[in-house]
Structure 1
Amino acid sequence: MTLTATRPATTKAKPSAKPRRKPFRWPLWVLLALVSAITVSPFVVMFVVALSPPGSPTLPVQWPESLSLKTITDLLSASGFLGWTVNTVIYSVVSVVIILLTASMAGYAFAKKRFPGRDAMMWAFLATFMVPFQATLIPMFVLVSQLGGVDTFWGLIVPTLANSQAVFLMRQFIRDLPDELFEAAKVDGASEWRIYWQIVLPLTKPILATLGVFVFLWHWNDFLWPLVMAQSDEVRTLTVGLASLRTEGAPLAHLMGSAALSVLPCLLVFALLQRYLVNSISMTGLK
């Protein structure tokens, strides 16, 4: 008896279909380009006017024949502008650091701790969203002035540290963190401060960076509260200083140069923290 090997039948693989290209939506691209041009055009005009030579015709009359840094150097050499910039940096950076620390601590307590009146306290804290800042401006000014905080840095910074929006965002982010991490840390004997410092803060870097950008921009561009509290150049911020330049009849080039220099730190902060900002947005809704 002889055995004959039979060759298994082979089936020809069908060629894979090529992925279809997405249609080019040119109306959408045109609309986005138009909106981008409208958004960027004021900044272009601002920088062009700031870099124009003194006395030369510029936008909107005509495009300057050459650009010069004389206006920028004059502003940087002026003691008033540098002082306003330093005051604004102190006001913004100190506020960002303190708000992020206090908001993360409060968010951790509201999200992972159980204590009597927790929900009622959170809702009462969120109710401050409904109260406009202008309604509390005069009572806050009277309170700070009676404590001797007018024209001081602590009077400028402390009343802005109670940020219910930051606490709410931190609470929502920390609430989605797994409880097993905190339970395992407690079993290992970790203290509350160690849990906060080594678990909560590293896991909340995206939301901390996002809040840092928002809080920094808010304080850097804040005008009403510094206008009320800062009554001398020693505490005056950039926004109040630029308004004083306009009332004093400063040249248009100086106004545009001051505005351009004040915008650069905001762009730098956004560029450095953009990665964390995008990550926090992409993680929204994910557990």
Structure 2
Amino acid sequence: MTTDAPAARPSAPLRDRVGDVAGRILLTATALVCVFPIYWLFATALRRPEDVASLSPIPWPLSLRNFSDAAHEVNITSLIANTFVVAALSAVGQLLIALLAAYAFAVYTFPLQRLLYLAFVGTWLVPFQVTMLPNYILLTRLGLLDTLVGVVLPTLCSALAILLLRQHLAAFPKELIAAARIDGRSSWSILWTVVVPNLRPALAALAILLFINEWNEYFWPAVVLRRSNAVLQLGLRSFMGTEGDQWGPMMAVAGLACLPVLVLYLLLQRHIVNAFVRSGLK
């Protein structure tokens, strides 16, 4: 009976090592699959115009001709600036409104609270196509069609953002809020000096999700901005025509559109990882 135990011990570390290697291989393969379309995007943008249709995985010789052609076709700086303004204003507006609403639902008690919360979150299940026409009519009456304000205004309230922040606030230690009230702080002061500093990872993760969602939005800007291609996603239409698509300049502009989002993610990466790891405060 004592001779079987030592023989079984070496197999456990071996299984752990095999599982670790298999997991790393799987993660590496998954990462390569996810990164390859982005690599091909930039590889196509850096090819010479006559080599755009090439299937070679390495773009050689390198060329910036597609970027210069794109710059002559559209005002890339203006497109990036307009898109950034729209995405930033929408993300900040959604984050602020969601924070206030989630704080009210999580901290205060009032009549029909649960029913109102369920009804509010239920709006998340309503397809955007259902509310598109009322929003369009409202913008028409306000005279905001063909303006960036008209693109931003209907997006300022997000039921998903409220749901996510409310879950984090529900796990927030109520003792900290009670102690702040004993110190004589107002509800507004408690929110910004006690709650928000402890929710930075969650707020950062939600901010980048909202920003990326609005940055990549195509349908609603296409409805509102009828006479202009003022944002990046609409600017890409300039390279599509009946005589053929200009894939090189299109990939160049699409590559430039990826850079601000990548920079934003790198700046907020630590907060985003913390938010997903912690999944709220305990």
User: TM-score, structure 1 length as denominator?
Assistant: 0.86
Please say if residues 208 and 265 of structure 2, whose CA atoms lie closer than 8 Å, have aligned partners that are also in contact: yes
State whether structure 2 residue 237 is matched by structure 1 residue 243: yes
* Partners of 1:224 and 1:59 in 2: CA distance: 31
Partner in structure 1 of residue 4 of structure 2: none
Please say if residues 83 and 215 of structure 2, whose CA atoms lie closer than 8 Å, have aligned partners that are also in contact: yes
Any idea what SS the aligned residue of 1:20 has?
Answer: helix
Partner in structure 2 of residue 197 of structure 1: 192
1:10-58 CA-partner distances (Å, limit 9, x unpaired): xxxxxxx999362223554444333333322222221111011232465
State the one-letter code of the partner of 2:18: F
* Partners of 2:76 and 2:101 in 1: CA distance: 37
Partner in structure 2 of residue 275 of structure 1: 270
Partner in structure 1 of residue 45 of structure 2: 50
| More deviation, 202-211/277-286 | 277-286
Any idea what SS the aligned residue of 2:17 has?
Answer: coil
Please say if residues 207 and 280 of structure 1, whose CA atoms lie closer than 8 Å, have aligned partners that are also in contact: yes
Please say if residues 107 and 167 of structure 1, whose CA atoms lie closer than 8 Å, have aligned partners that are also in contact: yes
Higher Cα Rg, which structure: 1
State whether structure 2 residue 172 is matched by structure 1 residue 177: yes
- Spell out the pairing of 1:67-86 with structure 2 (5 A cutoff): 67-76=62-71, 80-86=75-81
Q: Give unmatched runs, 5+ long, in structure 2.
A: 1-8
Change (3 A) 1:28 1:283: closer
Please say if residues 82 and 231 of structure 2, whose CA atoms lie closer than 8 Å, have aligned partners that are also in contact: yes
* Partners of 2:174 and 2:60 in 1: CA distance: 64
Please say if residues 85 and 237 of structure 1, whose CA atoms lie closer than 8 Å, have aligned partners that are also in contact: yes
Q: Give the number of aligned pairs.
A: 270
State whether structure 2 residue 145 is matched by structure 1 residue 156: no
Please, which of 225, 248, 253 is the counterpart of residue 248 of structure 2? 253
User: TM-score, structure 2 length as denominator?
Assistant: 0.87
Please say if residues 99 and 165 of structure 2, whose CA atoms lie closer than 8 Å, have aligned partners that are also in contact: yes
* Partners of 1:246 and 1:281 in 2: CA distance: 39
Give aligned-pair identity as a percent: 34
* Partners of 1:30 and 1:188 in 2: CA distance: 54
* Partners of 1:111 and 1:62 in 2: CA distance: 52
1:234-285 CA-partner distances (Å, limit 9, x unpaired): x721111112322374521101101111111111111111111111111126
Q: Give unmatched runs, 5+ long, in structure 1.
A: 1-16
State the one-letter code of the partner of 1:89: F
* Partners of 2:214 and 2:245 in 1: CA distance: 25
State the one-letter code of the partner of 2:181: K
Please say if residues 57 and 64 of structure 1, whose CA atoms lie closer than 8 Å, have aligned partners that are also in contact: no
State the one-letter code of the partner of 1:239: Q
* Partners of 1:245 and 1:205 in 2: CA distance: 40
State the one-letter code of the partner of 2:241: T
State whether structure 2 residue 104 is matched by structure 1 residue 109: yes
Any idea what SS the aligned residue of 2:109 has?
Answer: coil
TM-align CA RMSD: 2.3
Partner in structure 1 of residue 114 of structure 2: 119
Any idea what SS the aligned residue of 1:143 has?
Answer: helix
Task: Give 1:196 deviation, angstroms.
Answer: 1.1
* Partners of 1:36 and 1:91 in 2: CA distance: 30
State whether structure 2 residue 260 is matched by structure 1 residue 265: yes
State whether structure 2 residue 23 is matched by structure 1 residue 37: no
